[in-house]
């Protein structure tokens, strides 16, 4: 365990917001977790992975618990399946590359998502038709209050679109220490219907699908569309795509026949929030140091030394305009830290 007082968090969040925390505690092994309670005492605290889904609006008057617990192993294997135990501080994309290089199938569509493996279940990360819930066996957690470990099976995590129990009942109460993934060694059904995967695969002249080829296509698409947080501060999609009733969808469709939306199984529709933002001419909009990315309207960026407040205020402007125009209340995907 390492402890630093009055620590600047600029390098620990992908928006590169320069704020200070009262204390930074770096956890390198789950054996250190029982000591955390006496450090936290009555202070406010935040568990931090790669900082790629948080927006610090002010200095953090509390303790940042930074997860650096690493390690990975195969725990079970059959002809068809493989079970991997991954410590939560592992870099998610490195894990994807490990699986892809070994020809294990299941998370290739989730290539290049920044952050740690332990944060992946928190918002049930998803991309190109795959969510981590599709391959997640279990999650091991440490309850900070009771100082006890527990294993949650997939069903107990109550996953849904960018959501889980870790954003509700267990929010800020538990530290995820490891995850177990169940991947396929054969008979895998690849998901290529989303985004431009098919087009990209044909450009790469791919005739036989493999996790490596899918990952390659996904990486090429993502690199061409999304700003690299190492160069332009951002946290990926800032808003969730809202789910609306079929009545609401038809209302929008009548007004805007080009609406981008996807039917869901329960007679509702998911409307592309990026489409709505673009439709209102907000792509590229700047507010103080913050801006809406000019290539991808769902992504807000730190364009010019933005503060967390600049980015937050820009997100408020967008939420209000979308509500006034479409009658839909956008929800932030990024965790706002005050
Ligand atoms: C360029 C870019 C592209 C992105 N693309 C996608 C995408 O395609 N799909 C997608 O779903 N997301 C995407 N994201 C968002 C982000 O990468 C994911 O949400 C990621 O899982 C966050 O990981 P992290 O370690 O950085 O979490 P952090 O930002 O550090 O934390 C996020 C939340 O999880 C909590 N948390 C973190 N670790 C733990 C733990 N060990 N135990 C308990 N709670 C914890 C934190 O308290 C916080 O509430 C993107 C982000 C960027 C910058």
Categorize the per-residue pLDDT at 27 as very low, low, confident or very high, splitting at 50, 70 and 90. Answer: very high
Ligand 1, atom 40, lies closest to the CA of 176
Instruction: Establish whether residue 64 lines the binding site of ligand 1, counting it when its CB lies within 6 angstroms of any ligand atom.
Output: no
pLDDT tens column, 169-221: 999 999 999 999 999 999 999 999 988 999 999 999 999 999 999 999 999 99
- Interval 32-56 mean pLDDT: 95
DSSP string, 185-243: SSS-----SSTTHHHHHHHTT--S--HHHHHHHHHHHHHHHSPPTTTSEEEEE-BPPPE
What the chain holds in terms of domains, given with CATH numbers, is 2-67 (3.30.43.10), 72-225 (3.30.465.10), 233-337 (3.90.78.10)
pLDDT tens column, 256-294: 999 999 999 888 999 999 999 999 999 999 999 999 999
Is-contact 57 13, C-beta < 8 A? no
Task: Give me the phi and psi of 15, to 5 degrees please.
Answer: -80, -15
Annotated catalytic residue, options 162, 200, 315, 332:
162
**pLDDT value of residue 266:** 82
Give the number of the atom of ligand 1 that is nearest the alpha carbon of residue 47.
47
Angle, helices 92-101 vs 211-225, to 10°: value is: 150
**pLDDT value of residue 265:** 82
Strand partners, 237: 299
**pLDDT value of residue 295:** 92
**pLDDT value of residue 149:** 97
Q: How far apart are CA 128 and CA 109, in angstroms?
A: 6
pLDDT tens column, 60-98: 999 999 999 999 999 999 999 999 999 999 999 999 999
- Interval 27-48 mean pLDDT: 94
**pLDDT value of residue 195:** 83
**pLDDT above 70: percentage of residues in the chain:** 100
CA of 164 to the centre of ligand 1 (A): 13
- Please count the CA atoms within 13 angstroms of the CA of 30 that sit on its side-chain side: 20
pLDDT tens column, 289-309: 999 999 999 999 999 999 999
**pLDDT value of residue 41:** 87
Contacts of range 293-299, beta carbons closer than 8 Å, 24 or more positions apart: 293/227, 293/232, 293/234, 295/225, 295/227, 296/225, 296/226, 296/227, 298/237, 298/238, 298/239, 298/273, 298/274, 299/226, 299/227, 299/234, 299/236, 299/237, 299/238
pTM given for the model:
0.97
Give the number of the atom of ligand 1 that is nearest the alpha carbon of residue 122.
34
Instruction: Choose one of 24, 119, 141, 238 to mutate for the ligand 1 pocket test, by most ligand atoms within 8 angstroms of C-beta.
Output: 119
Q: How far apart are CA 56 and CA 66, in angstroms?
A: 15
């Amino acid at each position: 365990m390492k402890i630093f007082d009055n620590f600047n968090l600029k390098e620990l969040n992908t928006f590169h917001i320069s704020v200070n925390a009262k204390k930074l505690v770096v956890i390198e092994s789950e054996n250190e977790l029982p000591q955390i309670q006496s450090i936290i005492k009555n202070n406010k605290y935040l568990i931090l992975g790669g900082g790629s889904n948080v927006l610090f609006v002010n200095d953090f008057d509390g303790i940042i618990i930074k997860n650096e617990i690493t390690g990975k192993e195969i725990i079970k294997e059959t002809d068809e399946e493989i079970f991997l135990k991954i410590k939560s501080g592992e870099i998610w994309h490195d894990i994807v590359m490990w699986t892809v290089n070994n020809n294990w199938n299941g998370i290739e569509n989730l290539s290049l998502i920044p952050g740690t493996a332990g944060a992946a279940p928190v918002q049930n990360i998803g991309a190109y038709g795959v969510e981590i819930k599709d391959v997640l066996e279990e999650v091991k957690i440490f309850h900070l209050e009771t100082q006890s470990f527990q294993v949650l099976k997939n069903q107990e995590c109550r996953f849904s679109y960018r959501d889980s129990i870790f954003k509700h009942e267990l929010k800020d109460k538990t530290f995820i220490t490891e995850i177990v993934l169940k991947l396929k060694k054969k008979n895998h059904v690849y998901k290529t219907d989303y985004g431009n995967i098919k087009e990209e695969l044909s450009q790469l002249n791919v005739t036989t699908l493999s996790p490596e080829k899918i990952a390659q296509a996904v990486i090429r698409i993502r690199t061409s569309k999304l700003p690299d947080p190492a160069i332009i501060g951002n946290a990926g999609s800032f808003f969730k795509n809202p789910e609306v009733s079929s009545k609401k969808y038809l209302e929008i469709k009548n007004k805007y026949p080009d609406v981008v939306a996807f039917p869901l199984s329960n007679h509702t529709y998911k409307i592309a929030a990026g489409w709505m933002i673009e439709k209102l001419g907000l792509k590229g909009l700047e507010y103080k140091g913050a801006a809406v990315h000019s290539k991808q309207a769902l992504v807000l960026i730190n364009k010019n030394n933005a503060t967390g407040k600049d980015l937050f205020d820009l997100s408020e402007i967008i939420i209000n305009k979308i509500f006034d125009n479409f009658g839909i209340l956008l929800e932030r995907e990024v965790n706002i830290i005050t």
